[in-house]
Structure 1
Amino acid sequence: MEISRSVRRADLKAVGEIRRSLREWLRHRCRTDAAEVAELLVTELVTNALVHTEQGAEVSASLAAARLRVEVRDYASRRPRPYVPTADDGTHGRGLMLVQALADAWGVDVVEPGRGKVVWFELDGGLA
């Protein structure tokens, strides 16, 4: 089972739409708490892709063997680096820290040199 969605460059309004689509798709497939974590993490990854790469993104989610996997592909080769924010940063810079803290697994895969990357996370269990 899988869903996928394309997001145009700088279309930050689409972040909320993706979050709602994921919530709806997970409604009867996943525990509420796992779905809420997935919504938060997809929001962070899509926002990062749109803000830090200045290009569009492809988002996909799949369920298999009691595991949810969400992937966000962008078309920039630069790998994301976790950032440790200071008190002066406000809410900026916490996206990858949240992914590290809440996902059961996460990583970055290079698609092809010069052709982008996929930042992904997985959540175990939690399936309805």
Structure 2
Amino acid sequence: MDTSIELALETVGHSDADDEAAAADGDPVDPGAPGTPLVLTLRGPLSERTAGPLVDRLCHLLTRHGGVVVDLSGVSLTHSGAVHAFSEAAARAGEWPDVRLVLAAPDATLAALLVTSRVAQRVPVHPDVPTAVAHLDDRPEVLRGYWHFDVDPRAPGDARGHVRRVCRHWGIDEDTREAAEIVVTELVTNAVEHASSASVVEVWRRDHSLRLTVRDFDLTVLPEAHLPDPSAPRGRGLAMVAAVARTWGVEAHRDGKTVWAEMETV
């Protein structure tokens, strides 16, 4: 029998006992069955006020069960931006396929907004709960990994390990995976050694493209990529990024910059 609970959006976040209350209503949640898919039926208004607590609860349930199907048939949308709660929860909880979140049975207005907001690219939407359960393991159109690293000499290696792991989980070909590892190693090394900055790494897969970004919090302008003098002990990082990426660039922010690179994959 499917594991399922019902949750009133007006009360989510008001108590840490929502799961236990649902169990008392006859839909038991087995705390000893991690990885068991859960059907979560939401009731009430999806609003700016309820979206934040919903993200927290979904993260908890995704971490606990691995796969969650959200039944939206009882949801009334009162704030368009609240639909991003679902993609935010998926991003915060982890990466596919360790974390699988799908939505079911939205009304026509909510279904259209999930598509136009691009939430449906990361959190698939299905017309009913049985279909959603059957397709819970399907790969979403867009995959994302997100990690934060402190100023630490171990950060480049840790970042490389995360990228290697998700590329293998996502079925990225070996050449692209190796290129992505080179890119993230060089860019996080720049953040640690040259910018003395923490960094945020994101990697996205969509269709036949893998996009990798490294955000730092240093205002120093990044130099142009060029090959240094052969006798120079350092300085080849950006040249290596340029060599393995299909395209790359820099976006400036008021408090730092983001270096991005895109690679083709099969």
- Please tell me whether residue 118 in structure 1 is matched to residue 252 in structure 2: no
Tell whether the 8 Å contact from 1:4 to 1:60 is kept in structure 2 after alignment: yes
| Aligned match for 1:21, one of 137, 145, 162 | 162
How far is 1:83 from its partner? 4.3
How many angstroms apart in 2 are the aligned matches of 1:120 and 1:20? 18
How many angstroms apart in 2 are the aligned matches of 1:107 and 1:52? 18
How far is 1:88 from its partner? 2.0
| Aligned match for 1:59, one of 201, 212, 216 | 201
Matched residue type, 2:144: E
How far is 1:59 from its partner? 0.6
Matched residue type, 2:250: V
* Structure ranking higher on relative contact order (CA contacts 8 Å, 6+ apart): 1
Partner of 2:185: 43
Larger radius of gyration: 2
Mapping of residues 34-113 of structure 1, within 5 Å: 34-81=176-223, 82-90=225-233, 92-111=234-253, 113=254
- 1:79-113 deviations in Å (ceiling 9; x for gaps): 211243112213x10000011111001000012x3
Tell whether the 8 Å contact from 1:79 to 1:108 is kept in structure 2 after alignment: no
How many angstroms apart in 1 are the aligned matches of 2:244 and 2:178? 11
- 1:11-47 deviations in Å (ceiling 9; x for gaps): 1212111111111100142101110111011100110
How many angstroms apart in 2 are the aligned matches of 1:36 and 1:102? 9
Matched residue type, 1:15: P
- 1:44-94 deviations in Å (ceiling 9; x for gaps): 01101111111111111011121101000001122211243112213x100
Per the normalisation by structure 2, the TM-score is 0.44
How many angstroms apart in 2 are the aligned matches of 1:5 and 1:117? 16
How many angstroms apart in 2 are the aligned matches of 1:16 and 1:55? 16
Identity among equivalent pairs (%): 34
How many angstroms apart in 1 are the aligned matches of 2:156 and 2:240? 17
Give the number of equivalent residue pairs. 122
How many angstroms apart in 2 are the aligned matches of 1:117 and 1:52? 13
Per the normalisation by structure 1, the TM-score is 0.89
How many angstroms apart in 2 are the aligned matches of 1:47 and 1:70? 15
- Where in structure 1 are there 5+ consecutive unaligned residues? none
